[in-house]
Amino acid sequence: MKDIYILAIETSCDETSAAIVKNGYEDIATVVLSQIDVHALYGGVV
C-alpha cells in the first residue's frame, strides 16, 4: 500500500502552524510560528 502524506496548515491572528502527517497518524514534522513577542509590546493582539 502506498503511504499518504497530509500537509495541515492552521492560522490565527497571532500564530501559524504547519504539520506533515503520514497515513493519518505519524507526525513527520511540526512547526509553530508565533508573534507573541510583538503583541507583548502593545499589551496583546491589536
Q: Look at residue 39 in the predicted model and tell me its pLDDT.
A: 84
Q: Look at residue 24 in the predicted model and tell me its pLDDT.
A: 92
Per-residue pLDDT tens over the stretch 22-33? 999 999 999 999
Count of helix runs (H) and strand runs (E) in the chain: 1, 3
pLDDT above 90: residue 18: yes
Q: Look at residue 11 in the predicted model and tell me its pLDDT.
A: 95
pLDDT above 80: residue 46: no
Interatomic CA distance for residues 20 and 36, integer angstroms = 24
